[in-house]
Amino acid sequence: MAKKLATGWKITIIVVSAILALILIAVITFFILASIGKSKFHKNDRDISASNIEGLEVDDGEVTYNGKKYTLDSDVVSVLFLGVDKDNIGDDFGIGNNGQADTIFVMTLNTATKAIKIIPIPRESMVDVNVFSPSGKYTGTQHEQICLSYAYGKDANDSSENTRKSVSRFLLNINVSNYVTMDLKGISAMTDTIGGVSLTAIEDIPELGCKAGDRLNLNGEKARIYLQSRTEDAEGSSLRMQRQMQFLSEFASKAGNRISGNLGLVKTYYDTMKPYISTDLAFSQITYLVSTGIAKDLGGKFDYQMIDGEKKVGEKWVEFYPDPDSLVTAILNTFYKEK
Look at 21-25, 33-37, 66-70, 326-330 and tell me which has the smallest mean pLDDT.
21-25
More confident residue, 331 or 220: 331
The secondary structure of 272-336, three-state, reads HHHHHEEECCCHHHHHHHHHHHCCCCHHHHEEECCCCEEEEECCCCEEEEECHHHHHHHHHHHHE
Domains of the chain are 40-338 (3.40.630.190)
DSSP state at residue 49: P
More confident residue, 25 or 121: 121
Query: pLDDT exceeding 90 applies to what percent of the chain?
Result: 60
Q: Is 57 helix (H, G, I), strand (E, B) or coil?
A: strand
Instruction: Look at residue 14 in the predicted model and tell me its pLDDT.
Output: 46
Residue 125 has pLDDT above 80, yes or no: yes
Residue 290 has pLDDT above 90, yes or no: no
Label the pairing between strands 178-182 and 76-84. Answer: parallel
State how far the Cα of 278 lies from the Cα of 101, in Å rounded to an integer.
13
Amino acid at the residue 190: M
**H/E run at residue 69:** strand 68-72
Across the chain, mean pLDDT equals: 86
Residue 29 has pLDDT above 50, yes or no: no
Q: What is the mean pLDDT of residues 185-193?
A: 94
List, edge to edge, every strand of the sheet that includes 56-59: 56-59, 62-65, 68-72, 336-338
Q: What is the mean pLDDT of residues 31-35?
A: 45
Nearest partner of 74 among 110, 29, 125, 50, judged by Cα: 110
State how far the Cα of 142 lies from the Cα of 145, in Å rounded to an integer.
9
CB atoms within 10 A of CB 313: 10
Structure confidence by residue, pLDDT tens digits, 235-271: 778 889 999 999 999 999 999 999 888 888 888 888 9
CA angle 270, 150, 133 (to 5 degrees): 135
Q: Number of C-alpha atoms within 13 angstroms, CB side, residue 168?
A: 21
Residue 178 has pLDDT above 60, yes or no: yes
pLDDT band at 7 (very low <50, low <70, confident <90, very high): low
State how far the Cα of 117 lies from the Cα of 76, in Å rounded to an integer.
10
**H/E run at residue 253:** helix 236-261
**H/E run at residue 333:** helix 324-335
Structure confidence by residue, pLDDT tens digits, 207-231: 999 999 999 999 989 999 999 988 7
Is residue 124 a contact partner of residue 177, using CB atoms and an 8 Å limit? no
